[in-house]
Each structure stands twice: as C-alpha cells, then as structure tokens.
Amino acid sequence: MLNVTAPPNWKYPNVAGGLGANTCDFNAQINPPRSMHGGGVNVVLADGGVVFVNDNIDVKTFQMLGHRSDGGAVDANSY
C-alpha cells in the first residue's frame, strides 16, 4: 500500500514502522509511489482519471491529492 507522506520517487528508502510501532500499521509507514518513468509517476484519481504527477510536485499539494477529507481543493494545473 502507498501513501502521500513523501513525494513521488522519494530519494530515501521506504520506512516501515518506527520506535514502538507495529510494522503493519499503515499510519506509521512512509511508502511513497515509485515508478520507472523518468520524472514522475502515473496516478489513478478517484474519478478513474489517470494523470502523470511530476516528482517536483509541492509536497503539500501532493498530500492534499491523497486525502479526501482534508477539505482542500487542488488546482488541476498544480501537478
């Protein structure tokens, strides 16, 4: 399972768990999407659309894309 804790193709290794955390606890993991595509990843949106998200996306914008209940709107031109 992936999450939006870190940007796409994050340069650091994935992190599972933490001090005292269960490694099966998704909330304690950093598992960003990764891709063999240069410069970004393909992402499926809730409406079924597929978009290419650039590795240089603003992290806050990327996190807003991944949380449906945060109340934030994301401009389609920002990713």
pLDDT tens digit string along 7-26?
999 998 888 765 555 555 55
Q: How far apart are CA 61 and CA 79, in angstroms?
A: 8
Positive/negative CA dihedral, 22, 28, 30, 31: positive
Amino acid identity for residue 27 in this structure: N
Residue-range domain boundaries for the chain: 1-70
**40 near 48, Cβ under 8 Å?**
no
pLDDT given at position 22: 54
pLDDT given at position 24: 58
> Any idea which residue has 């001090």 for tokens?
19
CB-based burial of residue 30 (10 Å sphere; 0-12 exposed, 13-18 middle, 19+ buried)?
middle
The model carries a pTM of: 0.69
Portion of the chain with pLDDT greater than 70, in percent: 82
pLDDT given at position 19: 53
pLDDT tens digit string along 44-78?
877 888 989 999 999 988 888 887 777 777 777 77
